[in-house]
Amino acid sequence: MPFPQARYLLLDVAGVDMALPMSVVAEILPVTRFERQAPWPKILAGFMNVRGRPLAVIDLARLFEPARPPASLDLYSHVVRLVETHGSGGLGLLAGRVRDADATAEDFTPVEDSASANGAILGHLLITGRLVALLDVERLLLLEEEARVAEIAETLRARLEASGDGAP
**pLDDT per position as a tens digit, 12-37:** 999 999 999 999 999 999 988 887 77
CA distance 63 to 137: 12
50 has pLDDT over 70: yes
| Domain boundaries 8-162, CATH class | mainly beta
pTM: 0.85
CA distance 85 to 91: 10
Q: What is the pLDDT of residue 5?
A: 67
166 has pLDDT over 70: no
**pLDDT per position as a tens digit, 99-119:** 999 999 999 999 887 777 667
Q: What is the mean pLDDT of the chain?
A: 84
Q: What is the pLDDT of residue 20?
A: 95
> Could you tell me if 80 and 25 are in contact, meaning their C-beta atoms sit under 8 angstroms apart?
yes
65 has pLDDT over 80: yes
CA distance 155 to 73: 25
87 has pLDDT over 60: no
Phi, psi dihedrals of residue 78, rounded to the nearest 5°: -135, 155
| Domain spans in the chain, listed from the N-terminal domain onward | 8-162
